[in-house]
C-alpha cells in the first residue's frame, strides 16, 4: 500500500475547530522544545500526542493548560487567542501525570475544589460531586483522603476532579502511565467511554503507541518538537510517513531496495543485500498511484517497510515466484512464544534479519518452527509501505 500525502495538522471534520494551535514555538534557553507546531483539534475529538520523552508533547500540553507561554505563534480556543490568559482563567482542565491530588483534602474536597473557586452553590456542588463519583465508580469513598486510596482509585479521583468544571477541553498528561498493565487496559475503555458520553474534547499525551491507538480518534506523532504525522490510528499504522513514525508505531521491518521497474499495476524492487525480487502492487486510485510513482524512481534506492504480521512464513520451499508473491529464503534465528502469537526472527540468506509474527489461531505448541529451520518468507504485494523520507 502506498503512502498518502497527509496534511500535518488539519481538521478531522469540516466544522470550526475547538482548539487551533498556530505555528507555536517554545524555547527553553538554547533548546527548542516545540518547534512551529500547527494543529487543529475539533469539538468532541479524542486526540493523542504521541512521542518519546523530550519530544515536546508535554510542553505543548502545558501551553494549552496555560503553565507555559508560547514564544511564538498563538493558541486559539473557540477562535479567541488564549496564549496570554493565565491558567486559572482558562476553560481548560488538566489531569496530571502525578495526579497532583491535594493531600490535605478528601476525595470530595479535591473534586469540589474547582467548583468552589467558581462560587457554585453548596447544594449544587454536592450534587455535581456525587454525580462525578458515580461516573468514576468511587461512590462511598468521598470522605477518604488520597493516601487512603489505591493507585487506580487516585487516578479516578484525578479524572473526576479534572472533569468537575465541565471544561471545553480536557488535557491528560500520561493518564494511565502509573497503572499496571491489566488496569491500564480496563481504564482505556472507560476513559474512551467517558469521553464519548460527555462529548468533550480530550487531548492526551502519551509515549505508549498502543495506548494512543486504543484511545484516540486521531494521533499526532511528535519528533523533536515537530509534528511528524497526524492522522487516524489505522492511517498512521498502515501508511507511516517516514522511518521515525514507522518505527515508533508498532514493529516494522525496513528493507533497502532498488527500484527496477514500475508498470501500471506492479512495481518491481530488488533487495539491496541479497538481490531477491520484491513485487509491490500499485494502487488503483489515481492520486495514490501518482504519489507512489513519484517516490519510486527507477535505479534509486528506497526503503520498503513491512509489518511483521503481514509476512507469511512456511517451512517447505514452494516453487519459484508465482503471481504477486515475493519470496525471501532464510533460516529461523530466534523464536518467542507470546501466547496469542509467535514472533520469529528470520536471518535472510542475502543478509538482514526479518521479524515475522504468526497468529496462533490453531494452537501453536505443535507447529512452532524450530531454531535453524530453513524457511521461506512470503511478502504479499500489498504489504509493503514505501516511506516518503
Partner 1 sequence: MSLRRLFRHVAALPPALWLGAFFALPFLIVLRISLSEKVTAQPPYRPILDLSAGWEGIGTFLSQLNLFNYSTILDDELMWGAYVTSLRIAALATLLTLLVGLMLALPMARAPRRLRPLLIMLLVLPFLTSFLIRAYAWIAILKPEGLLNGLLMSLGLISEPLIVLNTETAILIGIVYSYLPFMVFPLYTSLEKMDASLLEAAADLGATPLKSFFLVTVPCIWPGVLAGCALVFIPAVGEFIIPDLLGSSETLMIGRALWNEFFANRDWPLAAAMAICLLAVVLLPVIWQQRQAETTR
Residue 152 has which C-alpha cell?
487506580
Among 27, 96, 198, 274, binds partner 1 (CB under 8 A): 96
CB of 179 to partner 1, least distance (A): 18
Q: Kindly list the distances between the CA atom of residue 139 and the CA atoms of 130, 134, 188, 245, 314, in Å, as whole numbers in the listed order.
A: 8, 6, 20, 42, 55
Q: What is the C-alpha to C-alpha distance for residues 278 and 268, in angstroms, rounded to an integer?
A: 6
Size of the site for partner 1 (CB under 8 A): 26
The residue (of 5 and 86) whose beta carbon lies closer to partner 1 is 86
CB of 121 to partner 1, least distance (A): 16
The residue (of 58 and 209) whose beta carbon lies closer to partner 1 is 58
Of 15-23, 43-51, 92-100, 217-225, the segment contacting partner 1 by CB under 8 A is 92-100
The residue (of 198 and 329) whose beta carbon lies closer to partner 1 is 198
**By CB under 8 A, is residue 87 in contact with partner 1?**
yes
| Whether the Cβ atoms of residue 211 and residue 6 lie closer than 8 Å to each other | no
Among 98, 150, 287, 301, binds partner 1 (CB under 8 A): 98
- Ramachandran area for residue 209 (φ above 0: left; ψ -120 to 50: alpha; else beta): alpha
| Whether the Cβ atoms of residue 201 and residue 47 lie closer than 8 Å to each other | yes
Query: Going by C-beta distance under 8 Å and a sequence separation of 6 or more, which residues neighbour residue 189?
Result: none
Query: Interface residues for partner 1 in 306-335 (CB under 8 A)?
Result: none
The pattern of x and - marking residues 247 through 286 that bind partner 1 according to CB under 8 A reads ----------------------------------------
Q: Provide the 10 A C-beta neighbour count for residue 141.
A: 17
The residue (of 165 and 307) whose beta carbon lies closer to partner 1 is 165
Query: Interface residues for partner 1 in 38-77 (CB under 8 A)?
Result: 65-67
CB of 146 to partner 1, least distance (A): 11
CB of 65 to partner 1, least distance (A): 6
Instruction: Compute the residue count for the chain.
Output: 389
CB of 166 to partner 1, least distance (A): 12
Q: Provide the 10 A C-beta neighbour count for residue 57.
A: 29
Q: Kindly list the distances between the CA atom of residue 148 and the CA atoms of 68, 109, 141, 160, in Å, as whole numbers in the listed order.
A: 32, 14, 10, 17
CB of 171 to partner 1, least distance (A): 9
| DSSP SS3 for 124 | helix
The residue (of 163 and 381) whose beta carbon lies closer to partner 1 is 163
Give kind and range of the element (H or E) at residue 386: strand 385-386
CB of 89 to partner 1, least distance (A): 8
| Whether the Cβ atoms of residue 23 and residue 75 lie closer than 8 Å to each other | no
CA 12 from centroid of its chain's CA atoms: 16
**Is 370 buried (19+), middle (13-18) or exposed (0-12) by CB count in 10 A?**
exposed
Q: What is the C-alpha to C-alpha distance for residues 304 and 253, in angstroms, rounded to an integer?
A: 8
Q: What is the C-alpha to C-alpha distance for residues 25 and 346, in angstroms, rounded to an integer?
A: 44
The pattern of x and - marking residues 99 through 128 that bind partner 1 according to CB under 8 A reads -xxxxxx-------xx--xx----------
**Nearest CA to 304 among 358, 249, 237, 259?**
259
The residue (of 90 and 239) whose beta carbon lies closer to partner 1 is 90
Residue 310 has which C-alpha cell?
503481514
The pattern of x and - marking residues 352 through 371 that bind partner 1 according to CB under 8 A reads --------------------
Among 26, 34, 55, 93, binds partner 1 (CB under 8 A): 93
The residue (of 41 and 164) whose beta carbon lies closer to partner 1 is 164
| Whether the Cβ atoms of residue 185 and residue 192 lie closer than 8 Å to each other | no
CB of 94 to partner 1, least distance (A): 5
The pattern of x and - marking residues 147 through 186 that bind partner 1 according to CB under 8 A reads --------------xx-xx---------------------
Residues near partner 1 (CB under 8 A) = 65-67, 86-89, 92-94, 96, 98, 100-105, 113-114, 117-118, 161-162, 164-165
Amino acid at each position: 500500500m502506498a503512502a498518502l500525502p497527509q496534511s500535518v495538522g488539519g481538521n478531522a471534520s469540516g466544522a470550526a475547530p475547538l482548539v487551533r494551535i498556530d505555528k507555536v514555538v517554545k524555547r527553553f534557553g538554547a533548546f527548542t522544545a516545540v518547534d512551529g507546531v500547527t494543529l487543529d483539534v475539533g469539538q468532541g475529538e479524542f486526540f493523542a500526542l504521541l512521542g518519546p520523552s523530550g519530544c515536546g508533547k508535554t510542553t505543548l500540553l502545558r501551553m494549552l493548560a496555560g503553565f507555559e507561554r508560547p514564544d511564538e505563534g498563538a493558541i486559539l480556543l473557540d477562535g479567541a487567542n488564549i496564549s496570554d490568559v493565565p491558567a486559572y482563567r482558562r476553560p481548560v482542565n488538566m489531569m496530571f501525570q502525578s495526579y497532583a491530588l491535594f493531600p490535605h483534602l478528601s476525595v470530595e474536597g479535591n473534586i469540589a475544589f474547582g467548583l468552589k473557586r467558581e462560587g457554585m452553590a453548596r447544594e449544587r456542588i454536592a450534587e455535581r460531586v456525587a454525580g462525578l463519583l458515580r461516573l468514576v465508580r468511587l461512590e462511598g469513598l468521598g470522605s477518604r483522603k488520597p493516601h487512603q486510596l489505591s493507585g487506580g482509585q487516585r487516578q479516578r479521583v484525578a479524572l473526576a476532579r479534572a472533569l468537575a468544571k465541565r471544561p471545553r477541553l480536557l488535557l491528560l498528561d500520561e493518564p494511565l502511565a502509573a497503572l499496571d498493565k491489566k488496569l491500564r487496559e480496563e481504564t482505556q475503555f472507560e476513559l474512551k467511554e467517558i469521553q464519548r458520553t460527555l462529548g468533550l474534547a480530550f487531548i492526551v499525551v502519551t509515549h505508549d503507541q498502543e495506548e494512543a491507538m486504543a484511545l484516540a480518534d486521531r494521533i499526532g506523532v511528535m519528533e523533536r518538537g515537530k509534528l511528524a504525522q497526524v492522522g487516524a490510528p489505522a492511517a498512521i499504522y498502515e501508511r507511516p510517513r517516514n522511518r521515525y513514525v514507522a518505527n515508533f508505531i508498532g514493529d516494522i521491518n525496513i528493507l533497502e531496495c532498488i527500484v527496477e521497474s514500475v508498470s501500471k499495476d506492479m512495481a518491481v524492487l530488488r533487495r539491496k543485500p541479497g538481490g531477491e525480487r520484491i513485487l509491490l502492487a500499485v494502487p488503483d486510485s489515481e492520486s495514490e498511484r501518482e504519489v507512489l510513482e513519484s517516490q519510486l524512481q527507477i535505479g534509486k534506492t528506497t526503503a520498503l517497510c513491512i509489518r511483521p504480521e503481514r509476512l507469511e512464513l512456511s517451512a517447505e520451499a514452494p516453487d519459484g515466484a508465482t503471481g504477486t508473491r515475493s519470496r525471501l529464503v532464510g533460516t529461523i534465528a530466534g523464536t518467542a512464544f507470546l501466547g496469542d502469537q509467535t514472533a520469529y526472527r528470520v536471518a535472510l540468506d542475502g543478509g538482514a534479519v526479518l521479524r515475522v509474527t504468526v497468529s496462533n489461531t490453531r494452537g501453536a505448541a505443535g507447529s512452532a518452527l524450530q531454531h535453524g529451520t530453513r524457511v521461506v518468507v512470503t511478502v504479499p504485494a500489498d504489504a509493503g509501505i514505501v516511506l516518503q523520507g
